[in-house]
A = this chain, B = another copy of it.
């Protein structure tokens, strides 16, 4: 386990091609591909994705993005936090702690983390010490946010009226 290496993914044709193997390939990747083809993104520039290679094969990945404290509606005190999405390990490589290695990497920044798990992934996230955020409809809509907090950070107490977009 100690030799699993997580690295920042660079945008190039190879990475963009390997992304297609992942189930959650979507608008984000299509938009990156388009920007890359139109020379809006430089070759080998940094992507918001981190991943694990076995040989030259990308076998797991996640997207990780730092949200500024002023947009923080989840933690107390309000602070920069990481939004984690598209965590995915290719089917042949599951059950070997690659998912855990990615999450541990995210935790190593020592910032709170928020994610919106896919249906049926709750057992995994519980093992990773993530907990359900209090549900606030105006803030969370159709999401089921899970959060993880480093020591000294608490969940923000929402109270239904705190984040009412109608106000």
Binding site for B on A (CB under 8 A): 23-24, 26-28, 30-31, 48, 63, 65-68, 70-71, 83, 85-86, 116, 119, 132-135, 137-138, 140-145, 165-166
A119 in complex: contacting residue of B24, B68, B166, CB < 8 Å: B24
Residue of B nearest to A29 (CB): B135
Are A141 and B85 in contact, with the CB atoms below 8 A?
A: yes
Are A27 and B119 in contact, with the CB atoms below 8 A?
A: no
Q: How many copies does the complex hold?
A: 2
Are A119 and B85 in contact, with the CB atoms below 8 A?
A: no
Are B119 and A48 in contact, with the CB atoms below 8 A?
A: no
Are A142 and B63 in contact, with the CB atoms below 8 A?
A: yes
Distance to closest chain B CB from A153 (angstroms)? 19
Residue of B nearest to A35 (CB): B160
Residues of B within 8 A of A144 (CB): 26-28
